[in-house]
Structure 1
Amino acid sequence: MSILELKNVCYSYEKGKVVLADVNAELEKGKLYAVLGPSGSGKTTLLALLGGLDTPTQGSVLFDGENIRTKGLEYHRRHHISLIFQSYNLIDYMTPMENAQLTAKLDAGPVLERLGLARDEITRNVLKLSGGQQQRVAIARALSSDAPVILADEPTGNLDADTAEEITAVLKESAHALGKCVVVVTHSGQVANQADVILEIKRGQLKEREIK
């Protein structure tokens, strides 16, 4: 049974440009989804709609069969969704540990360490970390949450190949071992190759691509 569903979703800008046209999809717990498509195709828009950061022009987004607008988009974001942003969205006067603990129910330390941060880096101000390290903190914050859905926008974009592979493995483990629904917008073939389901946006349509 799906935990997130897009039902006849359309999205267009005020000037009339259609980004998504009558999109339908069902997303299940326990699976890693990769969303592919050229730049400007609507991948980040799709993620924003699933996360309750924006609303469709037409159609609806459902969580456990209920329209996310029924209880409110803020409720959906707070209780159902954990987001990994391209821009990190870290609180700059906090340490990695403090940032990760904002959403954590358990100790975020082991997650930060698994993602490659040393003990002394965990207690350092995030502004003193490199961009790649900050990205790992943003990912750790999402993984430390008990939200059933993880939405990630290019989570491996600024990371070296080895770290990207480890991040992808952790996201896959979150789906398979922890039963989360993990949706990743990516240009990375490495991430797509690890996905259970590949979704591709072309000309406003969302189609499932066969995994070879």
Structure 2
Amino acid sequence: MTTLICENVTYQYEKGSKVLEHITTQFETGKMYAILGASGSGKTTLLSLIGGLDIPQEGKIMFNGRDISEMGLESHRRNHVSVIFQNYNLIDYMTPIENVKLTAKQDALPILKQLGLTEDEAKRNVMKLSGGQQQRVAIARTLVSNAPVILADEPTGNLDKDTAAEITGILKNCAHQMNKCVIIVTHSNDLVKQADTVFKLKKGRLLQI
């Protein structure tokens, strides 16, 4: 089922050339998408527009047939999307359990254990964890959210190969087993191989490859 549609989306940085130009595409639930592109090609900008963190100069983003600008960007961000940021975006003075509870009130420990953290690690300050462990906390925060769309900006970029493969598997499971729409900006060829659909962003155009 189609859940997100980009309709004629154009975006231009102030006093710059158009980074996204008349992009029209759609994303379905139950699938994992990878978006490739050179640095500065607009991948993160596109993710921000889909997530309601910014608005296009032309065109619109539709969620379940409704323009997200008309329904309210704050409502869209709160109810429809969960974002895994490249820098994890964790609260640095909190533990993993406390970070996850910011998203949902349910017990955070089981999901953190499922993602490979021990009970001791789940109760430490997040700054005392490795990059891979911090990324697992960020993903746990996403998994406890009821949002049907997961947006991930380079989720395996700072991880070793084995950890990256595990994270990719978790995200794929979110799409195929939890029926979420997972959209990932990445440079990872290994992640691309696992995606159901791969796009490449080049010269403002989004092309399926």
* Alpha-carbon distance, 1:135 to partner: 1.7
Match of residue 169 from structure 1: 169
CA drift at 1:110: 2.7
Tell me what 1:159 maps to: 159
% identical equivalent positions: 61
- For the residue of structure 1 that corresponds to 2:77, the secondary structure is helix
Q: Which runs of 5+ in 1 are unaligned?
A: none
Matched with 2:55 is 55
Any idea what SS the aligned residue of 1:135 has?
helix
1: distance between equivalents of 2:176 and 2:131? 28
- Which residue is 1:146 aligned to? 146
SS at 2:93 equivalent: coil
Give the corresponding residue for 2:17: 17
Which residue is equivalent to 1:178? Answer: 178
Residue number in structure 1 paired with 2:124: 124
1:142 partner amino acid:
T
After superposition, the Cα gap between the structure-2 partners of 1:126 and 1:63, relative to the gap in structure 1 and judged at 3 Å, is same
Q: TM-score, normalised by structure 2?
A: 0.96
5+ residue gaps in structure 2? none
In the alignment, residue 175 of structure 1 is paired with which amino acid? A
Cα offset, 1:105, TM superposition: 5.8
* SS of residue in 1 equivalent to 2:33: strand
In structure 2, the residue corresponding to 1:10 is in which secondary structure?
strand
Q: TM-score, normalised by structure 1?
A: 0.95
Decide whether the 8 Å contact of 2:103 with 2:141 is kept in 1.
Answer: yes
| 2:83–2:151 Cα contact (<8 Å) kept | yes
Change (3 A) 1:142 1:119: same
User: Residues 183 and 105 of structure 1: is their aligned pair in 2 closer, same or farther, counting only changes over 3 Å?
Assistant: farther
**Bigger CA drift: 30-39 or 91-100?**
91-100
Q: Is the 8 A contact 1:135 1:158 kept in 2?
A: no
Give the root-mean-square deviation of aligned CA atoms: 1.1
Give the superposition deviation at 1:106: 4.0
Q: Secondary structure at the match of 1:193?
A: helix
**Mapped pair 1:64 → 2:64:** yes
2:132·2:163 contact (CA, 8 Å) conserved in 1?
Answer: no
Residue 80 of structure 2 is aligned to residue 80 of structure 1: yes
TM superposition shift of 1:108: 2.9
Give the structure 1 partner of residue 115 of structure 2.
Answer: 115
- Compute the displacement of 1:172 (Å): 0.6
- Using the alignment, how far apart are the partners of 1:184 and 1:120 within structure 2? 30
8 Å CA contact 1:3–1:64 kept in 2: the answer is yes
Deviation at 1:98, TM superposition (A): 1.1
Offset at 1:93?
1.8
Name the residue aligned to 1:198: 198
